[in-house]
C-alpha cells in the first residue's frame, strides 16, 4: 500500500469523516483538508474549561493544547482552541458545528486561522480531527507529512474547491446490519416544538414548514408554527427560531464568532435535561436551491430542503453519535438524514433510522411506509459508503440487454411490516420526472420487510424495448407497497452521472 493510500485509509478510519449533521459542513478530500488548513499540528489536550463568551450570548469551551509537532504552519507551543458549546452551572449550549476533544488525548489536528473566532476552528469539523487511537498513528503522521508536502509543491484548483469526496463504486452491496445501528438522542425537547418560521419575503419562504410537516409524518404534532411569529432573532431567549441567512456581522452579534466553513448551524440550549431552544441558520456565502437535480450535481448549489430537514433533526435532539466521551469508530451501514454524504446523495429524505429514532422518542404514530433509494450502503466508520446503481455499459442498442450493477435499497420507515414490495424500473429523459418514461422491468423483493429494516435489491439484467428512441436516459425506480401511507418517498432517480445512451 502506498503512503498516500495509507493516509486516505487513515483519513476514513481515524478521523471524523462524519460531521455532526448532513449539511453543516461539506465533506472534504484529504488534499482539500491539507490545502485548507493554515496549521497542521500534533497536540495533547492538557485542560478543558467552559465559560461564557465576552458577549455573554454563548457558552464556549477552551481547550489548552500543548503542541508537540508542527506539520504545517508556525503554531506556538501553547494554543487555546475555543469551540462553541459547553456547560456552565445548570445551562448547556451546543451547536451542530461543535468539535469536542477529550482531555489528556493526543490528536493530529488540521486547524484554521488561530486568530479568527469561527464556528469551525478545526478544518471541516470532525474531518480535521485524527485521534491517536489504538495504533497506526505514526503511519498516519508520515502519510500526512508527505501529502502536505505534495499539496504545497503541486497545488491543484480542486484543492480549494468545495467538492464532496468521491465514493467507491466497487464496494459490495451489503445488507442492513442491525448490530451497527446506534441511536443517539440528546436531551429531546418537550413536544410540541413551536418554531418561529421563515417570514414572508424570506428566501424559500414556507419550505421550512414543509420539512417540519415531513418529520410530523413519523411523530404527529412534533413541530408547530408560532401563531404570531416574531421578526427578530436572539439566541438565548428560549424561542425556537428559523433565523434565515444571517451574515457574519449578525453572527458576531449573536455568538461572537463568524461562520467559518459551516454551511448551516443549529445552536441549542439545554436546561433541566431538555433542549429549550434551538435556532437554525444558513450561511449566505453558499448558493442554495430547491431544485433537486441541481442540488445533486457535483459542485452545484446546496439543497435547502436537505439542510432544513437534517437541522430539524438536531433541533429535536437527534445525532449520529454522542458529543460526550468521544466518538465510536464502529462501522455502520445505516442510512440517515444526518449522515455526511457526497453531493449526489444529498436529498431531503427521512429513512428508517430517522423514523425509528423520532418514533421511539415521541411515540404514538402508526404508519405503513416504504422508502426507496438508488443506491446501497456499505459499512464504514461513523457514516456508510454510498454505492450507486449503475449500468455496466455506457451505451446499448435498442432491443439489446445489459446489466445494472450494485443494488437499490428498500427500507421500511413505518411502524407496520410489509411483504413482497415491487420495484419498477424506467428509462427517463429527465431526473425527478416520469414524463416520457419507458418501462423496462418489474422486480419483486421477496419476503417481509420489518419495521426499521433496510434490504438491498439487485435489478440485474435489463432488456431495452426495440422501440426505445435513440437518446441519453437516466434511470427511475418506483417502489410499490400496498396501502403505503406516505407515497411521496416511493420514487428514486439515478445519480447525474448514471445514465445510458441508446442507439439504433
Question: Residue 431 sits in a domain of what CATH number?
Answer: 2.60.40.10
In a domain, 334, yes or no: no
Cell of 145: 507529512
SS3 175: coil
Query: Which residues are registered as beta bridge partners of 108?
Result: 42, 130
133 within a domain of the structure (yes/no): yes
What is the model's pLDDT at position 23? 53
The x, y and z cell numbers of residue 309, run together, are 430537514
Which positions ≥6 away from 142 have C-beta within 8 Å?
3
CA neighbor of 460 nearest in space, from 391, 359, 409, 387: 391
Residues 88 and 24 in one domain: yes
Is 21 in the same domain as 77?
yes
Q: Looking at residue 158, what is its pLDDT?
A: 74
Q: Has residue 338 been placed in a domain?
A: no
Q: Judge if 40 and 138 occupy the same domain.
A: yes
pLDDT recorded at residue 467: 96
Residue ranges making up the domain that contains 452:
366-503
Could you tell me which residues come within 8 angstroms of residue 155 by beta carbon, excluding any fewer than 6 positions away? 35
Q: With respect to residue 156, please indicate whether it lies within any of the assigned structural domains.
A: yes
Q: Residue 321 is part of a domain; what is its CATH number?
A: 3.40.390
Query: pLDDT digit string (tens) for 45-96?
Result: 999 999 999 999 999 999 999 999 999 999 999 999 999 999 999 999 999 9
Q: Is residue 337 part of a domain?
A: no
SS3 content of the chain, % helix, strand, coil (to 5): 20, 35, 50
Give the C-alpha distances (Å, rounded to integers) separating 179 from 29, 321, 375. 29, 15, 21
Q: What's the rounded Cα separation, in Å, for the pair 278 and 428?
A: 41
Residues 372 and 289 grouped into a single domain: no
d(CA 221, CA 207): 17
Q: Residue 81 domain-assigned?
A: yes
- Together in a domain, 385 and 439: yes
Give exposure, 91-112, as e/b (b: 16+ Cβ within 10 Å): ebbbbbbbbbbeeeebbbbbbb
* Nearest C-alpha neighbor of 167 from the set 425, 495, 419, 421: 495
Contact 337, 201 (CB under 8 A): no
Q: CA 85 to CA 92: how far, in whole Å? A: 7
Is position 172 within any domain? no
CA dihedral of residues 105, 340, 279, 218 (deg, nearest 10): -120
DSSP assigned state of 178? G
Q: Which residue shows C-alpha cell 445488507?
A: 175
Q: Do residues 145 and 233 both lie within one domain? A: no
What CATH number does the domain containing 32 carry? 2.40.50.120
Residue 360 lies in a domain: no
Q: Beta partners for 422?
A: 444, 480
- pLDDT for 63 equals 97
Among candidate residues 386, 409, 478, the one with its CA nearest the CA of residue 438 = 478
- 156 and 188 co-located in one domain: no
Residues 88 and 203 in one domain: no
The Cα–Cα gap between 484 and 67 comes to 57
The strand pairing partners of 331, in sequence order, are 381
Q: Is the Cβ–Cβ distance between 361 and 220 less than 8 Å?
A: no
DSSP β-ladder status, 390-391 and 401-405: antiparallel
- Same structural domain for residues 286 and 430? no
pLDDT at 164: 35
pLDDT at 7: 42
Q: State residue 502 phi and psi, 5-degree precision.
A: -95, 130
**Within this chain, do residues 148 and 190 fall inside the same structural domain, yes or no?**
no
At residue 416's C-alpha, the angle toward residues 415 and 419, to 5°, is: 140
SS3 label, residue 149 = helix
Same domain assignment for residues 314 and 396: no
Q: What is the pLDDT of residue 15?
A: 41
Three-class DSSP category at 48: strand
Task: Indicate the residue among 308, 325, 342 that finishes a domain.
Answer: 325
DSSP conformation class of 7: H
Residues of the chain with pLDDT under 70: 1-23, 134-135, 161-183, 320-330, 381-382
Domain count, the chain: 3
In 3D space, the residue among 11, 326, 34 whose CA is nearest the CA of residue 139 turns out to be 11
8 A C-beta contact, residue 402 and residue 461: yes
> Are residues 452 and 494 both part of a single domain?
yes
Taken in order 411, 414, 416, 420, the sign of the CA dihedral is: negative
Q: Identify the domain boundary among 160, 194, 229.
A: 160
Of 499, 447, 439, which Cα lies nearest the Cα of 475? Answer: 499
Query: Does residue 161 come out as left (phi exceeding 0), alpha (psi in the -120 to 50 range) or beta?
Result: beta
Domain-terminating residue out of 265, 297, 325: 325
Query: For residue 200, what are the β-bridge partners?
Result: none
Looking at residue 296, what is its pLDDT? 96
C-alpha cell read off for 64: 489548552
- The pLDDT value recorded for residue 321 is 54
Across the chain, mean pLDDT equals: 88
In degrees and rounded to multiples of 5, residue 242 shows phi and psi of: -90, 105
pTM of the model: 0.90
Amino acid at each position: 500500500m502506498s503512503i498516500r493510500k495509507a493516509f486516505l485509509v487513515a483519513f476514513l478510519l481515524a478521523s471524523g469523516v462524519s460531521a455532526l449533521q448532513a449539511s453543516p459542513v461539506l465533506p472534504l478530500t484529504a488534499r482539500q483538508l491539507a490545502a485548507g488548513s493554515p496549521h497542521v499540528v500534533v497536540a495533547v489536550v492538557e485542560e478543558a474549561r467552559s465559560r461564557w463568551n465576552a458577549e455573554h450570548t454563548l457558552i464556549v469551551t477552551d481547550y489548552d493544547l500543548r503542541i508537540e509537532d508542527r506539520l504545517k504552519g508556525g503554531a506556538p507551543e501553547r494554543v487555546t482552541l475555543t469551540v462553541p458549546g459547553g456547560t456552565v452551572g445548570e445551562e448547556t449550549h451546543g451547536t451542530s458545528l461543535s468539535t469536542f476533544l477529550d482531555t489528556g488525548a493526543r490528536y493530529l489536528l488540521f486547524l484554521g486561522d488561530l486568530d479568527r473566532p469561527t464556528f469551525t476552528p478545526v478544518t471541516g469539523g470532525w474531518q480535521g480531527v485524527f485521534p491517536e487511537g489504538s495504533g497506526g498513528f505514526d503511519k498516519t503522521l508520515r502519510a500526512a507529512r508527505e501529502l502536505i508536502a505534495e499539496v504545497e509543491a503541486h497545488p491543484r484548483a480542486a484543492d480549494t474547491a468545495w467538492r464532496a469526496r468521491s465514493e467507491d463504486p466497487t464496494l459490495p452491496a451489503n445488507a442492513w446490519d442491525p448490530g451497527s445501528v446506534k441511536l443517539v438522542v440528546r436531551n429531546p425537547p418537550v413536544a410540541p416544538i413551536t418554531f418561529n418560521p421563515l417570514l414572508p419575503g424570506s428566501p424559500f419562504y414556507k419550505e421550512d414548514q414543509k420539512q417540519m410537516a415531513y418529520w410530523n409524518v413519523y411523530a404527529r404534532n412534533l413541530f408547530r408554527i408560532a401563531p404570531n411569529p416574531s421578526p427578530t432573532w436572539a439566541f438565548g431567549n428560549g424561542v425556537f427560531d428559523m433565523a434565515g441567512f444571517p451574515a457574519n456581522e449578525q453572527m458576531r452579534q449573536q455568538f461572537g464568532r463568524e461562520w467559518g466553513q459551516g454551511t448551516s448551524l443549529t445552536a441549542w440550549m439545554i436546561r433541566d435535561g431538555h433542549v429549550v431552544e434551538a435556532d437554525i441558520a444558513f450561511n449566505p456565502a453558499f448558493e442554495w436551491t430547491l431544485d433537486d437535480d441541481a442540488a445533486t450535481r457535483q459542485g452545484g448549489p446546496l439543497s435547502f430542503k436537505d439542510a432544513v430537514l437534517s437541522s430539524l433533526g438536531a433541533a429535536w435532539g437527534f445525532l449520529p453519535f454522542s458529543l460526550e466521551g468521544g466518538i465510536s469508530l464502529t462501522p455502520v451501514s445505516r442510512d440517515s438524514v444526518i449522515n455526511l454524504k457526497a453531493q449526489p446523495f444529498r436529498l431531503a429524505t427521512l429513512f428508517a433510522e430517522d423514523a425509528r429514532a423520532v418514533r421511539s422518542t415521541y411515540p404514538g404514530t402508526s404508519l405503513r411506509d416504504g422508502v426507496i433509494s438508488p443506491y446501497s450502503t456499505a459499512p464504514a466508520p461513523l457514516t456508510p459508503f454510498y454505492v450507486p446503481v449503475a449500468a455496466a455499459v455506457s451505451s446499448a442498442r435498442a432491443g439489446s440487454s445489459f446489466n445494472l450493477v450494485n443494488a437499490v435499497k428498500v427500507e421500511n420507515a413505518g411502524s407496520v411490516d410489509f411483504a413482497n414490495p415491487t420495484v419498477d424500473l424506467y428509462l427517463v429523459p429527465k431526473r425527478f420526472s416520469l414524463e416520457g418514461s419507458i418501462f423496462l422491468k418489474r422486480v419483486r423483493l421477496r419476503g417481509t420487510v420489518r419495521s426499521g429494516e433496510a434490504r438491498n435489491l439487485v435489478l440485474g439484467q435489463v432488456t431495452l424495448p426495440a422501440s426505445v428512441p435513440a437518446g441519453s436516459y437516466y434511470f427511475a425506480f418506483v417502489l410499490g407497497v400496498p396501502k403505503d401511507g406516505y407515497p411521496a418517498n416511493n420514487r428514486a432517480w439515478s445519480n447525474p452521472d448514471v445514465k445510458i445512451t441508446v442507439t439504433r
